[in-house]
Structure 1
Amino acid sequence: MLTGAAAGVPPTDTEPTPRSAATPSPSPSPTKEPSERDRQYWIDDYGIKEAWKTSQGEGVTVAVIDTGIVDGPEAFKGAVAGGTDVSGVGAQDGRTPVDVVNRNHGSWVASLVAARNGGDADKMIGVAPKAKLLSVSVGFGDSATVPFVEQIAEAITWSVDHGADIINLSLTTNAQSWDESWDDAFLYAMQHDVVIVAAAGNRGSGTNVVGAPATIPGVLTVAGVDPEGKPSVEASTQGITIGVSAPSEKLLGISADGVLKEWKGTSGAAPIVTGVAALVRSAHPDASAIDVINRIVQTARKPKGVTEVPHPLYGYGLVDAEAAVTADVPAATRNPMGDLERWIEVNRRKPAEQQPTPTVTPVEVPPLPPAEGRPEAGSSFLPSQEELRTGTLPLAALSGAGILVVLGVIAAVRRVRSARVRRSPGKP
C-alpha cells in the first residue's frame, strides 16, 4: 500500500533491448519530472484525496503556533485570516519570521495544513486546502525577548480567543514535564472545545523520548513514518503518549521565499494530522474536540505486525483521513489521549494550608509600687519595728487582759471563802 511508486517517482529506466546494426536505435524520450502534486504521496496513500469528496476543511480555523507564516507566497493567499506575535520581536500580525535559523519552519508547517494551489493541479496543496489559518509567531532562545514558556501559554490563549478550532504545535521542549503555567493555557483550550495536535519530536534532533507539549494529557501526539509506513529512525521518536502516526520523510514545504523545499521531521507529520482533523471538523461540525480526536484514533490503520495498540512507535496506527471523515464512529465519552483536568487534580495538589498563627493580644500589667528601702540590720533576737507593729503589740495587749481576768477570779474565790468562815460558829 505504501510504496515508493505511490509517491510519483518514475521507475528506473532499464537498458534498451539490443538491436541490429542496420536498425538505428530511436532517441530516448525525455523523462518527465514529477510535479509538486505527484511528490505528495501522503495525499493518495493516507486517504486524503478520498476524504476531499466529503470535506476540504471549509469553515475550520487552524492556529499554527510556530515561527510565523510568511506573507507573500501565492500558496497562502486567502489562507491566513489573522495572527499575532508573542515573541516580542516579530511583526504584530505574526507574518514575519522571527527565527533566523528556522525562519522557513512556520511556512513549511502551514503549507502542509492548508496551502492553496490556485487551481493548478500540479502545484502543492495542503491537506485541508479550504481551511483558514492563524499565524502565531514564537521565537526560540535568543531570538525572543519573552521566555519560551510564557510565549506558548500566551499563544494558546490568544488562539482560542480568536476562533481557533484546532491548534498545531510542531515543537518540543525535549523534556517530559512542562511549566505549570501551561496547565491553565492548555486546559483553557480544551474547555473551549479546541483540538490540540503536537509533534512527538525527532531522534535526529536529540529527542529520544516524546517531550512536552506532546506529553500533556488530551493532546493528540503525532509520530513519524517513512514513505513505506515504517517508523522513521531520524524523523520520529517513541513514547506512550503517541496517538497516531503520519509521514515525516520526503515532505514538501513552501519556504518564506516561496520556493518549494523537501524536508523531514514530525514537525511535518503533525500538520498532516492537523489537516485531517480540519477535514473531520468540517464534515462533522457538531462533533466535539474529543469526538474529532477519537475519530482519528479509532480509525487509524494498524501497521503490519502490530497487534496491540497504543504502540510506542505508532500509537493507535497510521492516520486514515477517509475513514476518519466517513466511518460510523460513536460519540466519545472521554478523550482517548487523557484528561488534563484530572491530571492537574492529582499531580498539582496544593500543600496543606497552614493554620493561621494565633494573634496574642498583650495584657497591660500595672507597674509595681516602688520598693521600700532596706531596713537597717539589727539583732536577730530583737523584734523589728514591723514585728512589733504586727505581732508583739497585739500579743502584749492580749496578755495584759488575760492577767486581769485571772486576778479577778482569784479575788472572787477569796471573798467566797471569807464568807463561809464567818457563817460557821463553834470553830476555834
Structure 2
Amino acid sequence: MAKRILGLLSAALLVVIGLSTPAQAAPIEKAYEAININAAWSKNILGQGVTIAMIDQGVNLQHEYFDGQVVDGICVYQTNNTATCPNGTKFQTGLAAASQRRDLRGALIAEETHGNMVAGIVAGKPNSVAPGGVAPQAKIVMANTDMQPKSVVAALEYFYQNREKYNIVAVSMSFGILGLTSRQDLLNCNTNPVYTEVRASLKKLREVGVIPFAAAGNGFYLDSVESWAPTCLDEAVSIGSVDENGQISIYNTMSTKVELLAPDYAISAATYGYMQASGTSAAAPTAAASYALLRQQFPLHSAQTVLEAMKVSGKKIDDVVRKQIPMVDIAAAQKVLESTPVGGTPVDPNPTPVTTKKVTVGSFNGYIAIYVQGYEGSQFISRIAGKWISVSSLKNVTGKPYALIKRNTGAGYDVKVEVWIDGVKQTLNTSGQPASQVLVLRTR
C-alpha cells in the first residue's frame, strides 16, 4: 500500500530563523492577524483547559517551544516499517512516546521536523522569535506514527480513551494515506475498505464532540477527486490553505470536500530553532486550534454548533474551482455564537444572495437573443438553427444580472434553439410557450 505523510503532500518550507531571547516580547504574526486572533487573546482565551491531539512525526520534547505543552503521547509503527519508538519497540505510550525519531547515534533526525511545525502552530510557547501557537496555553497529545491505517486507528483510539482525562476537543492531522483497491475507491474514498476502521474511529470521536481536522493536501490538481485519507472522509473536516495575499495557495488540492480555509505561513518550530511554515499542513492545525479557542469560550455550545459557526461566519474566498469557501475568522465566529441560543443553529450574518438561474430565449428584428441569468463564469454552448455557439466563460452585461448571446437568423423562419451550460442541457423559457429543452421560435 502506498502511503505518504504531508511532509511530501504538504511540504513545509524549512527556513531556520534562530533561537529566542526570553527578555523580548513575541513578534506579531500576520497569519494569526488574518484569523482575527486578538478577538480571543484580548479576552484571555488562550486555550486554558483544552487539549488538541495530533497525529504526525512527533516533536523535539526539549525544544523551548514545547516546554510543558506536550502532556502525553503514543508511538505506533507497523512491522513492515524499520522505524521504532523511543523505547526500541513498535508501540509505546506516555510522554516519551511523543518524541520525533532519532538516528543510530541517538540524535534527533533534524529533517523530520514536520511534527514540530504543526505542533508549534497549535500550542507553541511565545518568545522573542516566534509568536507561539494559536492556542498558546492549550496542551498537546502527540501521536508519532508511520501514518499507516492501523497506526492511525491506534492513535485515534488512544485519543478516544483519554479524551476526558485531557479534555481533548480536536484532532489535527496533516498527512495522507493512499490505499486504492479499485477505481471506485478513487472516485469515493468513503467506500474504500482500506479506510473502514479509520472512518469508524473518526466517527466515534465526532460522536463525543471531538472534531478531527485534516489538511486538504498539496497535489497541484484543480477540481481533483480527493482520494487521500483522512481528508477525503466524511468524518474529517478538510482544511485548505490561504497565502499571504489572502488567495487560495497555489499548491492547494481543491475539491468539494474542503470545508474551511486557514493561513499557511506562520512562524513555528523546527527541530532546532524556528521556521516559516507552509502547505495545507499548516492550515489544519491553525483551524483546529482556532476551534479549540472557541470551544473554550463557548462551553455550552455543542461541538457541531461551534464548527458550524466557523463555517458560516468566515470571509468567503473564491477559487478557480470553487466559490465562496469560508476562511477561519475567530471574531466573526464569536459574534455568531454569541447570538446563537444554546441548542440553536448558527446563522450566516452575511448570507450569499440567492441568484435565480434561468435561461430565456426571444426573437427580435431578425435575430435570436438568449438571456442567461445566474451562470456567470460558466461554459455556454448553444445550437441555433443548426449552428453552434460556444462561450468558455459567461460574463454578465454591465449593470445587468444576465449574460446576453445573440445570433442573426433573419426574419420569418422557424428556428430551433438548444442550450447547454457546463455540459448540462437547459430548460428554456420564452413568452407564450411552455418551458422546454428544445424551443422552436418564429423569427420576426
TM-score, normalised by the number of residues in structure 1 = 0.61
Contact 1:203 1:233 in 2 (8 A): no
What is the 5 A alignment of 1:267-416? 267-303=281-317, 313=322, 316-327=325-336, 328-330=339-341
In structure 2, C-alpha distance between the alignment counterparts of 1:129 and 1:246, rounded to whole Å: 17
Aligned to 2:64: 74
Shift of the alpha carbon at 1:206? 11
Partner Cα separation in structure 1 for residue 101 and residue 224 of structure 2: 27
Q: Distance in 1 between matches of 2:223 and 2:145?
A: 20
1:129 pairs with one of 131, 136, 161:
136
Letter in 2 for 1:298: V
CA offset digits 1:185-238 (Å, max 9, x no partner): 11111122111111100025999543321122242211011111111112x111
Helix, strand or coil at the partner of 1:94: helix
Offset from partner CA, 1:8-61 (integer Å, 9 cap, x none)? xxxxxxxxxxxxxxxxxxxxxxxxxxx995462112122012221231111111
CA contact (8 A) 2:312 2:346 kept: no
**Matched position secondary structure for 1:239:** coil
Larger Rg belongs to: 1
Give me the whole-angstrom Cα distance separating, in 2, the residues matched to 1:207 and 1:36.
Answer: 43
Closer, same or farther in 2 for the Cα pair 1:271/1:133, shift >3 Å?
A: same
Shift of the 302–205 alpha-carbon distance from structure 1 to 2, 3 Å rule, reads: closer
Match of 1:110 among 88, 101, 119: 119
Alpha-carbon distance, 1:315 to partner: 6.5
Structure 2 residue identity aligned to 1:187:
K
The one-letter code sitting in structure 1 at the alignment partner of 2:151 is Q
Asked if the contact 1:300–1:319 (Cα under 8 Å) also holds between the matched residues in 2, the reply is yes
8 Å CA contact 2:240, 2:283 repeated in 1: yes
Check whether the contact 1:67–1:102 (CA below 8 A) recurs between aligned residues: no
User: 1:242, 1:314 within 8 Å by CA — same for their partners in 2?
Assistant: no
Name the CA distance, whole Å, in 1 between partners of 2:229 and 2:99.
Answer: 26
Q: Does 1:214 align with 2:231?
A: yes
Structure having the larger proportion of residues in strand: 2
Q: 1:200 to 1:207 in 2, by over 3 A?
A: farther
Q: d(CA) in 1 for partners of 2:64 and 2:140?
A: 14
Q: Does 1:253 align with 2:268?
A: yes
5 Å matches for 1:100-249? Answer: 103-117=112-126, 120=127, 123-140=130-147, 148-163=148-163, 164-174=168-178, 177=189, 178=192, 179-204=195-220, 208-210=224-226, 211-234=228-251, 236-248=252-264
Aligned pair count reads 285
**Residues 332-378 of structure 1, C-alpha deviation per residue, up to 9 Å, x if partnerless?**
67899xxxxxxxxxxxxxxxxxxxxxxxxxxxxxxxxxxxxxxxxxx
- Report if the CA contact (8 A) 2:316-2:324 is conserved: no
Q: Aligned-pair RMSD on alpha carbons?
A: 2.9
Distance, in Å, in 2 between the alignment partners of 1:284 and 1:192 is 17
Whole-Å separation in 2 of the counterparts to 1:56 and 1:159: 22
1:90 counterpart (71, 85, 98): 85
3-state SS of the aligned residue for 2:85?
Answer: coil
For residues 315 and 167 of structure 1, do their structure 2 counterparts lie closer, same or farther at Cα, with a shift above 3 Å needed? farther
Q: Give the counterpart letter for 2:340 in structure 1.
A: V
C-alpha separation in 1, matches of 2:324 and 2:60: 33
* Candidates 36, 41, 56, aligned match of 1:47: 36
Shift in CA distance, 217/38, structure 1 to aligned 2, threshold 3 Å: same
Identity %: 24
Give the secondary-structure state (helix, strand or coil) at the position aligned to 2:98.
Answer: coil
Q: Is the 8 A contact 2:132 2:268 kept in 1?
A: no
Residue identity in the other structure for 1:185: S
Indicate the residue corresponding to 1:397 in structure 2: none
Q: Distance in 2 between matches of 1:185 and 1:297?
A: 23
Distance 1:244 1:48, change over 3 A: same
Q: Deviations over 1:274-299 (max 9, x none)?
A: 11011111101222221121111111
**Distance 1:84-1:282 versus aligned 2 partners, 3 A rule:** same
Distance change in 2, residues 1:114/1:209 (3 Å): farther
Shift of 1:314: 6.6
Give the conservation status (yes or no) of the 8 Å contact 1:70–1:256.
yes
